[in-house]
Amino acid sequence: MKPLFLLDPEITYLNHGSFGACPEPIFADYQYWQRELEKEPVQFITKRLPQLMQQSRQALADYICCDADDVYFVPNPTTAINTIMRNLDLSPGDEILSTDNEYGAMDRTWNFYCRKSGAKYVRQPISMPVISKEKLIEEFWKGYNSNTKVVFLNQISSATALIFPVKEICDRAQQLGLITIVDGAHVPGHIELDINALDPDFYTGTLHKWMLAPKGSSFLYVKKEFQDRIDPLIVSWGYDSESPGKSRFIDYHEFQGTRDMSAFLTTPAVVRFLEEHNWTDKSMSSKSLILQNYKRFCDLLKTTPLCPVSSEFLGQMCSVPVNTQKPIELKELLYSKYKIEVPITKLNGRFFLRISCQSYNSQQDIDTLEKAIIDILNTTDLIQ
Ligand SMILES: Cc1ncc(COP(=O)(O)O)c(C=O)c1O
């Protein structure tokens, strides 16, 4: 599959997780929309765009299983979580229950909110290695008390690359009357996503990571009962619209003045591409590579997996704990000397070599990484 992507063939690319990668046919569709816009900006933006955006929202909604009027496009999950944050009305002492495995930008967003509101952001510690789903859930709920008003968690963590049991946690949160906010940045196109079945109050995900869309395409889903309470992050023509669409929620949030919507308009082409290339099967092959190689890398680095090596916790990524005092130098060396793009992630003072597998990767890429690590172990003091 690698020739289908725009990636540099000289680089062993094992970091799909950070920013995704876009195949040529989808990128061509992206450029097609940009050219359509430039051909006749007035006609395109004022006449064609509303209908085209509706089609894109529908294609997305069908893919993630929700109503097309309950979801709108945003550039990234940070924008989505900031929109929710700006609309929460917590009192001093109220608590947002989360985990100590969340994405840094989201931790910062909640810290900001709590400084302003007097609410408390609870990063509930999750023991590593994770032993079982039940144990993880039990640990999570130890952070609950009568002040807890909101549950916020990622479905697949960034630094540790673990799948979290969000369904079980959302179900219990609902029984307790809590607001549920899920950061599913890594989920669409990676593991199954059925928003209707999961039934969160808010859910954000990206299309530009595992769905292969061009950069800057993500979404925010908001359950109907919350939609009237959510002000737009940016107020523009869609507010008190002179030509209202059928959903006020979409009008309020989608229109933000002059902007290039081309990345969003690729959604029908994105979904078609995934179907035409049997992406579920391709994803399964990448997941098998992760399951086959995780323990092997942990053994090489004399560390242990962060979870049972199974599809319950692992998708197309795994994070191998690495003992290093020099994570930046290690990452730089892997790139400059061995031409391998792979991140060293950091969480709670620990470092991880996070390996991503996408359809353009093969066992050969993973073997290239293994050889480089062996060489680094033999020739440097970067890894203890
Ligand atoms: C859990 C999680 N949330 C959010 C994001 C991305 O958010 P943004 O693109 O807004 O920085 C990532 C990216 O890796 C992530 O892993």
pLDDT tens per residue across span 316-360: 999 999 999 999 999 999 999 999 999 999 999 999 999 999 999
User: What integer pLDDT is reported at residue 121 of this predicted model?
Assistant: 98
Alpha-carbon distance 226 to 249, whole Å?
A: 10
Q: Nearest C-alpha to atom 9 of ligand 1 is from which residue?
A: 76
- Give distance in angstroms: CA of 221 to centre of ligand 1: 16
Is the domain 2-22+278-379 a CATH 3.30.9.10 member?
no
Give the relative orientation of helices 327-336 and 363-379 as an angle to the nearest 10 degrees: 120
Residue 374 binned pLDDT confidence (cut-offs 50, 70, 90): very high
Per-residue pLDDT of 12-34, as tens digits, reads 999 999 999 999 999 999 999 99
- Give distance in angstroms: CA of 312 to centre of ligand 1: 21
What is the third-level CATH fold of 27-274? Aspartate Aminotransferase; domain 2 (3.40.640)
**pLDDT averaged over the chain?**
97
| CATH 3.40.640.10 segments of the chain | 27-274
Q: Nearest C-alpha to atom 11 of ligand 1 is from which residue?
A: 78
Question: Is the pLDDT reported for residue 256 higher than 90?
Answer: no
Residue 243 binned pLDDT confidence (cut-offs 50, 70, 90): confident
Contact residues for 11 (Cβ-Cβ < 8 A; gap 6+): 339, 340, 341
| CATH 3.90.1150.10 segments of the chain | 2-22+278-379
Pocket of ligand 1 (CB under 6 A): 18, 76-78, 103, 105, 154, 158, 183, 185-186
Question: Is the pLDDT reported for residue 253 higher than 90?
Answer: yes
Per-residue pLDDT of 298-321, as tens digits, reads 999 999 999 999 999 999 999 999
Q: Which atom in ligand 1 lies closest to the alpha carbon of residue 156? A: 1
Q: Nearest C-alpha to atom 10 of ligand 1 is from which residue?
A: 78
CB 21 within 8 A of CB 360: yes
